Amino acid sequence: MESGKEFQELNGNLYPDIEPYSTGFLKVSDVHTIYWEQSGNPNGYPFVFLHGGPGGGTSPSNRRFFDPQFYRIILFDQRGAGKSTPHACLEENTTWDLIDDIEKLREHLEIPEWQVFGGSWGSTLALAYSESHPDKVTGLVLRGIFLLRKKEIDWFYEGGAAAIYPDAWEPFRDLIPENERESFVTAYHKRLNSDDLETQYAAARAWTKWEMMTAYLLPNEENIKKGDDDNFSLAFARIENHYFVNKGFFPSDSFLLDNVDKIRHINTTIVQGRYDVCCPMMSAWDLHKAFPEADFNVVSNAGHSANEPGISAELVAANEKLKNLAKKNEP
């Protein structure tokens, strides 16, 4: 186990806080408008950040994984999340809608091709987007791999992870009456889509707290408090649950792995915490076996969060590697 001092030194690998140089809203459908921002170098190499959840939204700290002197850093909030409107909306909200939004944003910003960064659900979306538009992606950085397969959903939401976090699991379990516990995802879906707003909020708080309490190897109180924020929790829980009930809107359970051949030419790094409870390492391992060309980095003293020092250090290193490759390929 690394000492606290070593943890601190690793987290020092993040770049300093920066502010965006441009922000905006892009109307992507009759229903949805997405928030976007750019920071770093306006003439730099474009890198788009895909946040987790779905429904998690972006935060200012997401900019810190990228060298602001070299990269044009693009963040956006997916449909219904963060500053995008309407808030927590499930209508016209599918993986394929989000893939179209990424393309609309790329065209809106007049970017011919870009590197893609995604963790957790962001890794799911990054894979789905890259497999749909392999000619638009020059590099991939994937963290906390989530392939949205039934066994992954069952592990985290139907009792598997309770073996490690029984104390965090029981409040999540106890919101649901015993006669509905054959599927917690279905039972929460009913409550998150209730006509009663307080029923929605109560379910959203319980759903979000379960995930936030298990996201770090060492508990992070600030992260756990997100579960008390009804505005954040409602979007996070409703949109996540909507995607999980609908199996990611994928045609098959193994869809992302089945289509890996389309992206095997793309420079890719996979970063995975050994003790990730939310997205267990079996998924990263399966992706590694299907995509052996990708760099595969397991962080031995980390859980799920990108903000854990060992993981953030590996993510910065992966972005530096892509930076150096891009510099070599400059005309």
Is 120 a residue of the active site? Answer: yes
∠ CA 282-285-287, rounded to 5°: 110
> 10 Å Cβ neighbour count for 23?
14
Is 174 a residue of the active site? Answer: no
* Chain centroid, CA 221 distance in Å: 20
Of 39, 304, 305, 312, catalytic: 304
141 beta partners: 117, 269
Of 77, 84, 101, 120, catalytic: 120
Q: How far apart are alpha carbons 237 and 227 in whole angstroms?
A: 10
Burial 197-233 (b: 16+ CB within 10 A, else e): eeebbbbbbbbbbbbbbbbbbeebeeebebbeebebb
> Element (H or E) spanning 128, and its range?
helix 121-132
Of 101, 276, 283, 305, catalytic: 276
Enter the DSSP assignment of 139. E
- The DSSP result for 255-277, as a single string, is HHHHTGGGGTTSEEEEEEETT-S
Is 123 a residue of the active site? Answer: no
Angle between helices 121-132 and 95-108 (to 10 degrees): 70
Burial 131-161 (b: 16+ CB within 10 A, else e): bbbeebbbbbbbbbbbbbbeebbebbbbebb
Q: How far apart are alpha carbons 300 and 232 in whole angstroms?
A: 31
Contact call for residues 46 and 22 (beta carbons, < 8 A): no
Of the candidates 158, 125, 156, 159, which has an alpha carbon nearest to the alpha carbon of residue 142?
A: 125
**Residues with a known catalytic role:** 120, 276, 304
